[in-house]
Structure 1
Amino acid sequence: MREIRCAALGFSGALFFASATAAFAGEDRDLLPQDNGFVTLQVENDLFAHIANTDRHYTNGLQGSWLSSPREMPGWMGPLTKLPVPGRFEASTISHHRVGVSLGQAIFTPDDTETSTPVPDDRPYAGWLHLTFTLQTVYRTNSNSAMQDQWKLDLGVVGPAALGEQAQNNWHVLIGADEANGWDNQLENEPGVNLTLERAWRSDLFATPEVMGFETDFIPHGVLALGNVQTYAGLGGTLRFGPDLPDDFGPPRIYPGIGGSEWFHADSGFDWYLFAGVEGRAVARDIFLDGNTFRDSPSVDKKNFVADFKLGAVAVVGRARVSFTHILRTREFHGQDKPDQFGGITIGWAL
């Protein structure tokens, strides 16, 4: 349990650091009055999508995040906040810039966690512990159209230093489940650096009709990622359905599942909506399948095209937003017997 407590303290420390940074950074409070930033906790686990208590492939993700209130960016960051935009957004006003920081951990195992010997035809054991720094820019037009750009820089470690074994097995001891016995075969320690650019649109170009008196909208998104952990390009979109859809971009995911925003409007007493989406990715590198970059390690023959399908629901109650997402991920490597399924729970608070 010591490692779990350390991880919890790490999340708290990151959030405290981020809040302290906000207190001293220059902000433009006139952009969105009463907006003091957001704190988000996310957990993804295959248990949420299976009746049986099993661990398989991407078995757990945990992330705590802080996103700032709107603020002015220093001049040297101008190129990052002024990327080329479609013509309809050229005359728009940039509603706000935000910065954020997250602390996350992801755990991967083969399907057979009972054996202590390597499983050559299944994905290797791996842990990924990282800090993510975010720069977000939102463009708005005079209509209800908006576009969101997000730069994300991951700095972390893959391997035993990521504490995947300790987090999983100590949790299993706590709940009375069997321990995973093959962690001696996990990927070796390797520093991880990844840079990701995400763009999402909410535009009249993708207008959708009302259905049975409920509003609908469609939010497409794209992503480019480059690094020794994951290198890929992806496209996708999310369809939402509800009585009064907010003008945000939906709930976030622990990526490589993208789309969504950690910010949301918390000025209503209660709101809800349902959503469904898909994202396809062309994958050039995935360290959790390809193995370590600079040394020999367990690996599998990955597939270069992967898709996520998602269904979920969101409820906004006062200053809190809660979402549940069920994800089906197509086969990620040759020899994988079936797609993976897992669920995600996200809780956000407006500060």
Structure 2
Amino acid sequence: MSRKLFSVAIGSIAAIGVSLPIDAKADEFGRLSLLEENDSLYDTSDKHFTQGLRLSFLSPDIASNSAWNGPFDFVGALAPLFSSAPKAGDRSRRYAMFVGQSIFTPTDKTTTTPDPTDRPYAGWAYVGVSLLQETNRSTLDHLEVTIGLVGPGALGKQAQNDFHQFIGAAPAHGWSYQLRNELAGMVSYERLWRVPLFSAAGLSFDIVPQAGATIGTVATYGAAGGMIRFGRNLQADYGPARIRPALSGTDYFDADHLDGNFGFYVFAGTQGRIVGRNIFLDGNTFRSGPSVDKKLFVGDLQAGLSLFWSNDIQAVFSAVRRTREYDNQPTPDVIGTASLSFAL
């Protein structure tokens, strides 16, 4: 089931990617990004959120007379989710389509019967789509819908143990006790503001506050936070993409208003979340199984570096420190991230 899900997702992304530029304002064909998040990327840790891989496609800017504006206008008519602009030229609308897999494991993976007070084993394979609208070069609205499969069908056991066998590491022995198969999803909305602080000699400081919420059987939480950045050509994006549930970030990138091709920035940020549900801690929605008592408040701290050459290529590296997510968790987690994006 998971293989079919990924095949359909990749085929859909390719098909939409081909059709979108027909109505795009710019002569471009979109942007492809590969994001890896792993607790052992910069360290030797291997526990909790142990692996995440996400492939995404960002469409070109949608023309004001394109039929692809329909979903934006429909959602905006139902609720005030997208900022208004004096005229269509003051906004930029793009789609992002993505597919990914995340793996969660307990601290001790040597036992066949996991500790019931430790985090459960879980795999999560998903596809999704984002609606991204920038308004007046200062505000970004981000609506995201994600659906996928939690459980053995997500192939978390195979992904982890096959890779461990390849590198000569010990396998995880408790996957028989993972969360059971469940079709699950979530809807997320957030707004990000880009606030310039000062610029001099081609270098700038800005701050990107954000607030949003997610609801669904995978995760339900409210979030608020912000990021401070220093570098060149900060107006290209609002910070790097991340894998939910996590710090806010988006696939959005716009090279049209860059001053020269080269850009970079160092960044640091934080986000706090009030968590109502996390399936990877609370367990399956409609059946009993492994679970732990989650923390109501979770916070992330991050720092990193983004380098890009126009729209052609971008590389991002960062590290995230996440507070304890459940009652018996011995220490906070540190997660490394790396991503590569390039124009098609």
Instruction: Please say whether Structure 1 and Structure 2 have the same fold, judged by a TM-score greater than 0.5.
Output: yes
Deviations 1:85-105 (CA, angstroms, capped at 9, x unpaired): 799x65364522222211110
In structure 1, distance between residues paired with 2:233 and 2:288: 53
* Residue range with higher mean Cα deviation, 244-253 or 211-220: 211-220
Query: Which residue of structure 1 lines up, in the alignment, with residue 94 of structure 2?
Result: 98
* Matches of 2:254 and 2:114, distance apart in 1: 48
Distance 2:225 2:292 in 1: 26
Letter in 2 for 1:282: I
Please, which of 13, 17, 22 is the counterpart of residue 18 of structure 1? 13
TM-score computed with the length of structure 1 as normaliser? 0.87
Task: State the alpha-carbon separation in 2 of the partners of residues 215 and 22 from structure 1.
Answer: 33
- Asked whether the 8 Å contact 1:15–1:66 carries over to 2, the reply is no
Give the C-alpha shift of residue 271 in structure 1: 2.2
Aligned mates of 2:34, 2:236 — CA distance in 1:
21
Deviation at 1:12, TM superposition (A): 7.6
Worse-matched range after superposition: 287-296 or 67-76: 67-76
TM-score when scaled to structure 2? Answer: 0.89
Name the amino acid aligned to 2:46. Answer: D
> Which residue of 2 is the match for residue 130 of structure 1?
126
Deviations 1:168-227 (A, max 9, x none): 000000111110001011011111021111211113xxx423589841100011121111
The equivalent residue for 2:322 is 329
Residue 20 of structure 2 contacts residue 60 of structure 2 at CA under 8 Å; is this kept in 1? no
RMSD of the alignment, in Å?
2.6
| Matched letter for residue 185 of structure 2 | V
- The superposition leaves residues 306-349 of structure 1 with CA deviations (integer Å, 9 ceiling, x where unpaired) of 00100000111350000011000000011111100010111111
1:88-143, Cα deviation, whole Å (9 max, x unpaired):
x6536452222221111000000001111121111100000011121222211xxx
Q: What does the per-residue CA deviation read over 1:130-177, in whole Å, with 9 as the maximum and x for residues that have no partner? A: 11121222211xxxx421111111111111011000000000001111
1:76 to 1:253, Cα distance in 2 relative to 1, 3 A: closer
- Do the aligned partners of residues 35 and 310 (structure 1) sit closer, same or farther apart at CA in structure 2, a change above 3 Å counting? same
- Match 1:300 to one of 283, 292, 304: 292
Aligned to 1:306, the other structure's residue is in SS state: strand
SS in 2 for 1:184: helix
Could you tell me how far apart the structure 1 residues matched to 2:193 and 2:135 are?
A: 10
Corresponding residue pairs, total: 334
Q: Secondary structure, in 3 states, of the residue corresponding to 1:294? A: coil
- Say which SS state the counterpart of residue 47 (structure 1) adopts: coil
Q: Return the alpha-carbon distance in structure 1 between the equivalents of residues 106 and 41 of structure 2.
A: 18
1:61 paired with 2:52, answer: yes
2:142 touches 2:191 (CA, 8 Å); kept in 1? yes
- Is this contact kept in 2: 1:250–1:261, CA < 8 A? yes
Say if 1:271 and 1:10 are closer, same or farther in 2 by CA, change over 3 A.
farther
Residue in 1 aligned with 2:273?
A: 281
Give the C-alpha shift of residue 297 in structure 1.
0.7
The equivalent residue for 1:271 is 263
CA 1:161/1:225 → structure 2, altered by over 3 Å: closer, same or farther?
same
